[in-house]
Amino acid sequence: MAGRAVPRAPEGVGVDLHLKADVGEGRRVGLERALRDAVRDGRLAPGARLPATRRLAAELGVSRGTVKAAYDQLIAEGYLTARQGSGTLVAPLPSVDAEPPRAAAHVREPRFDLRPGSPDVGTFPVAAWLRALRRAIATAPSLAYDYGDPRGRIELRTALSGYLGRARGVIAPPERIVITSGYVQGLALLTRVLDGAEIAMEDPGLPFHREVVRRNGGVVVPAPVDERGVLVEGLGDGAAVVVTPAHQYPTGVTLHPERRRALTDWARARGGLIVEDDYDGEFRYDRQPVGALQGMAPGQVAYLGTASKTLGPALRLGWMVLPPHLVDAIADAKLHSDHHTESVGQLALAELIGSHAYDRHVRACRLRYRRRRDRLLLRLGPGRRVQGIAAGLHALVEVDDETAVLARAEAAGLAVGRLGDHWHTPGGGGRPQGLVVGYGTPRERAYPEALEVLGKVLEEG
């Protein structure tokens, strides 16, 4: 038994147990020590069920009495528990040596969460998703469970081709679509393929996305944004520009039609690439939806979208609609990144889109978020300047002193975003100040109280 590995318990035990026991001091003592060490190290977690004595004895090649004696000793020491009908379990042990992570010790979840960037995940269409999942699995070929095309399942690419064409005005042949695990992966793949190029990104914009570009070899330069969207004149001769034309983050402005034309002209004249982050594209409230920029210049625009805001970030499903000359390079980069995005979720989303359950869910969410937007405006009152309210899941509320307002918010247990955190360079007098207020994050019951706290925090100033 010395040094013997036990990778798998016999049939019928119900659990697998891997042990290495040193029997230099005897088989029972060696087994006791191996089990005790496994519990202390956390390899046997509290509540874990141990194999029956007869089965473990057969696997280890020792007598049942040896295993029973080892179990009894560890029960006496408090490492194991035994209950009639439940078998032998690992006991819950106090952690005397463990120290909580230092970062976690200082993190306190807010009582009221109005941070931007997330939807109300409580609206996830569980019943519709389960129906789609069952139908997808029932009809999927066996090869769907094998390694697949790095571009993604053809079922989802075909479904997206139709959906994006009719709902967002995107020219999206299935062969030019690549499925990703979300926007961040798509941005990272594009940056790698551009291979160290200069990439202009909106200022203000999301700092995390700038860091994604830098960590994948890109050189980030600011592209200023005003009330009409990104300023095209300052783009120069860079290789690419990343924009959020439907609902700019964080200002909430929509890219003006003249700027759209100027941006596509810039790309054609210089051979540049426009990376379109269709952020909040499905959620427009006060006028007809603004079509995707990609429809104006499909040969110059890489269109990126996800299910993160419409369904939920946990699905990790996104898509890229690429100019023809980038498809092979992106597919190769995807292959060597993670081979391909998981397939079962792709099949379920394809079914959800094909049955129009996805459209129904998006329409229901659009109504819900519009009501939330309206409640936000009602609570803030007509005297408060608020931007970006025509679409999306966030609004920019102007304030005179971000630092003072955020200090009051923190004291009240309220979390919101800060416009000052989104500039490419910190500081700088004369810049607008404001709160980036997300109205998608709170659950329905928590939203009214969160709004009330926000209103009081702003009124105190």
Range of lowest pLDDT (60-64, 306-310, 409-413, 436-440): 60-64
In this structure, what token pair is assigned to residue 98?
């463990």
Q: What is the mean pLDDT of residues 387-415?
A: 94
b/e sequence 38-74, b meaning 16+ C-beta within 10 Å: bbeeeebeeeeebbbbebbbbbbebeeebbbbbbebb
d(CA 421, CA 396): 13
Q: Tell me: the pLDDT tens digits for 347-371?
A: 999 999 999 999 999 999 999 999 9
What is the DSSP track for 183-247? HHHHHHHHHHHHTS-EEEEEES--HHHHHHHHHTT-EEEEEEEETTEE-SGGGTT-SEEEE--SS
* pLDDT value for 1: 46
Query: What amino acid is encoded at 235 in this protein?
Result: L
Range of lowest pLDDT (26-35, 179-188, 447-456): 26-35
Look over the chain and give the mean of its residue pLDDT values, rounded to a whole number: 90
Q: Tell me: the pLDDT tens digits for 258-311?
A: 999 999 999 999 999 999 999 888 898 877 778 899 999 999 999 999 999 999
Q: Is 130 helix (H, G, I), strand (E, B) or coil?
A: helix
Query: What amino acid is encoded at 170 in this protein?
Result: V
pTM over 0.75: yes
Quick count: other Cβ atoms within 10 Å of Cβ 451? 21
Quick count: other Cβ atoms within 10 Å of Cβ 177? 24
In CATH, the architecture of 4-90 is Orthogonal Bundle (1.10)
CB 175 within 8 A of CB 158: no
Domain range list for the chain: 4-90, 112-120+360-459, 124-357
Pair type for strands 318-321 and 177-180: antiparallel
* pLDDT value for 41: 85
Fold held by 112-120+360-459: Aspartate Aminotransferase, domain 1 (3.90.1150)
Residue 77's pLDDT band, with cuts at 50, 70 and 90, is confident
DSSP strands (E only) in 371-413: 386-387, 394-398
- Degrees to nearest 5, angle at CA 207 with 316 and 461: 115
d(CA 444, CA 456): 20
Residue 96's pLDDT band, with cuts at 50, 70 and 90, is very low
CB 177 within 8 A of CB 334: no
Instruction: Answer yes or no: is pLDDT of 4 > 80.
Output: no
Distance of CA 159 to the CA centre of its chain: 22
The secondary structure element, H or E, covering residue 81 is strand 80-83
Which CATH number among 3.40.640.10, 3.40.190.10, 2.60.40.420, 3.30.70.3400 corresponds to the domain 124-357? Answer: 3.40.640.10
Specify the higher pLDDT residue, 429 or 162.
Answer: 162
